[in-house]
Amino acid sequence: MEKNYNIYRKQLELPEYGRHIHQMVDNLMLVEDRDERNRKARYIIGVMGNINSLLRDTPEFTHKLWDHLFIMSEFRLDVDSPYPIPTSVTLTPTPVRMPYPDKRVVMKHYGKYVKRIINALENEPRSEAVQEAINDIARYLRTKSYEYNQEHPNNEAIIKDIKRMSNNGIDVDEVTIGLMKSDYKQPVHTTPQRGKKNNPKKGGKNKPQNQRHRQKL
């Protein structure tokens, strides 16, 4: 006797409806008369609606049942539907590919926004405000370089990095940058441990109550 296991059967498109309804849909596609096929399709919709009888009479649920009918037929069923006939493209549309920034950051320890600021200053006319912005950038690069390398950066290295990120489009005042103060992180000072109590002071106030009571006697 040959065993008829589900693993050897056709895979169900919507397993929640069961194999019997899928077989009814497969038999429906074999009906040649269109009027009879439309009539039987409405009967199958009624059977599918019995699964959720409370929502069967709502228009949204009925539309959903008709969509499921076409899904179980693999969109090959030719019947007159009261709703737009779906396709595999309309039900499972291809998502639009989102643009992802793939630009490589040249100096990751400085960040990508520093380079954007430097590139924005290339088109600005040389003025005192632009020079102050360049000085602030140089001061920021010093701080980030110290955090990354744990050593004091050289002014020549900072100027070289600015010119590299600007493609030599910014004139850097090396004298002004060399005279700027470095804002490095100060070492963390250790604080005294909590929980230690000071030694009791010598005197009558710190004596136990029994000792003070004896003195009175």
**pTM for the model:** 0.46
39 domain residue, yes or no: yes
- 193-199: long-range contacts, CB 8 A cutoff, minimum separation 24: none
215 domain residue, yes or no: no
For residues 10-33, give the mean pLDDT: 89
Same domain, 77 and 13: yes
**pLDDT on residue 149:** 80
**Which carries the bigger pLDDT value, residue 44 or residue 183?**
44
What number of other Cβ atoms are within 10 A of residue 124's Cβ? Answer: 11
Same domain, 82 and 133: no
Distance CA 88, CA 15 (A): 18
Same domain, 118 and 151: yes
Same domain, 135 and 168: yes
Distance CA 217, CA 204 (A): 15
Alpha helices in 50-185 (DSSP H): 59-72, 88-91, 112-122, 128-149, 155-165, 174-179
Count how many residues are written for the chain: 217
For residues 76-81, give the mean pLDDT: 90
Same domain, 12 and 87: yes
Same domain, 60 and 12: yes
**Which carries the bigger pLDDT value, residue 42 or residue 6?**
42
121 domain residue, yes or no: yes
Share of the chain above pLDDT 90, in %: 16
The predicted-structure confidence for 142-191, as pLDDT tens digits, reads as follows 888 888 888 777 778 888 888 888 877 777 776 766 666 555 444 444 45
The predicted-structure confidence for 27-38, as pLDDT tens digits, reads as follows 999 999 999 999
The answer to whether 173 and 128 are in contact (CB under 8 A) is no
Same domain, 80 and 12: yes
For residues 104-133, give the mean pLDDT: 80
Q: Which of 65, 39, 66 is nearest to 52 (CA)?
A: 65
Distance CA 33, CA 39 (A): 10
Whether 112 has a pLDDT exceeding 70, the answer reads yes
Domain hosting residue 133, numbered range: 112-179
Burial 132-143 (b: 16+ CB within 10 A, else e): ebbbebbebbbe
For residues 6-30, give the mean pLDDT: 87
For residues 74-81, give the mean pLDDT: 90
Same domain, 79 and 120: no
48 domain residue, yes or no: yes
Q: Which two tokens stand for residue 164?
A: 């590299």
45 domain residue, yes or no: yes
Same domain, 15 and 83: yes
133 domain residue, yes or no: yes
Distance CA 21, CA 28 (A): 10
Amino acid making up residue 120? A
Same domain, 21 and 85: yes
Whether 39 has a pLDDT exceeding 90, the answer reads yes
Give residue 133's pLDDT band: very low, low, confident or very high (50, 70, 90).
confident
Query: Which of 21-35, 85-99, 122-136, 164-178 shows the lowest per-residue confidence on average (mean pLDDT)?
Result: 164-178
31 domain residue, yes or no: yes
